[in-house]
């Protein structure tokens, strides 16, 4: 899922079965759109991904081994705090639709379960638009929880030139905003 700072869902890509997030990303339409937007020079737009994703000119990732007190550490802290919105979104979805909880498995074929997940995402946006609050007794993940800086194995390495460009963009952001 891709969401904005208000937890409004902007994109959902559901892949039946159990695969790593970066696998889904590598085959998503959203990645192609971001790549096309970047290649056509239509602006500087970035998505934030955790350390399990490859750094790309349009997808910024944290620097998990940054030393405290450095601009790189400040960048990583800001990155993780900002990216925690999507983790909060998952908490909101699970709080409102209990069928999405890990212990409450959807007992449907993957294609049908995918439709249920997509429906929950659409209903979330409708609830957000109409400012319908969560039930009072529903606890959701607080900002900053479940931030994982561990580097995970990537499914697809980034081409050398693109990785170098991405590192320069990331370095420029660190220099401009965190120095």
pLDDT tens across 80-135, in order? 999 999 999 999 999 999 888 877 666 778 888 889 999 999 999 999 999 999 87
Specify the pLDDT at position 126: 98
**Residues in CB range of 65: below 8 A, 6 or more apart:** none
Band of pLDDT at residue 18, cut at 50, 70 and 90: confident
d(CA 66, CA 143): 21
Average the pLDDT over 28-55 and give the result. 92
SS3 annotation, the chain: CEECCCCCEEECCCCCCCCCHHHHHHCCHHHHHHHHHHHCCCCCCCEECCCCCCCECCEECCCCCCCCCCHHHHHHHHHHHHHHHHHHHHHHHHHHCHHHCCCCCCCCCHHHHHHHHHHHHHHHHHHHHCCCCCCCCCCCCCCCCCCCCCCCCCCCCCCHHHHHHHHHHHHHHHHHHHC
On the question of pLDDT at 150 being above 70, the answer is no
pTM: 0.80
Average the pLDDT over 3-15 and give the result. 94
Average the pLDDT over 62-73 and give the result. 95
Domain of residue 78 covers 2-178
Number of domains in the chain: 1
Specify the pLDDT at position 137: 57
């Amino acid at each position: 899922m891709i969401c904005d700072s208000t937890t409004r869902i902007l994109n959902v890509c559901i892949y039946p079965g159990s695969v790593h997030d970066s696998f889904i990303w590598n085959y998503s339409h959203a990645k192609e759109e971001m790549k096309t937007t970047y290649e056509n020079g239509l602006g500087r737009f970035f998505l934030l991904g955790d350390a399990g994703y490859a750094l790309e000119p349009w997808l910024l990732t944290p620097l998990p081994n940054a030393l405290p007190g450095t601009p790189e550490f400040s960048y990583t802290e800001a990155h993780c705090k900002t990216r925690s919105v999507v983790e909060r979104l998952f908490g909101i979805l699970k709080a409102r639709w209990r069928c999405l909880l890990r212990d409450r498995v959807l007992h449907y074929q993957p294609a049908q379960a995918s439709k249920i997940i997509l429906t929950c995402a659409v209903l979330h946006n409708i609830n957000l638009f109409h400012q319908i609050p969560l039930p009072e007794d529903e606890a959701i993940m607080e900002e900053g929880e479940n931030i994982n800086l561990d580097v995970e194995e990537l499914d697809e390495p980034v081409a050398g030139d693109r990785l170098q460009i991405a590192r320069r963009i990331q370095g420029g952001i660190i220099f401009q905003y965190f120095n």
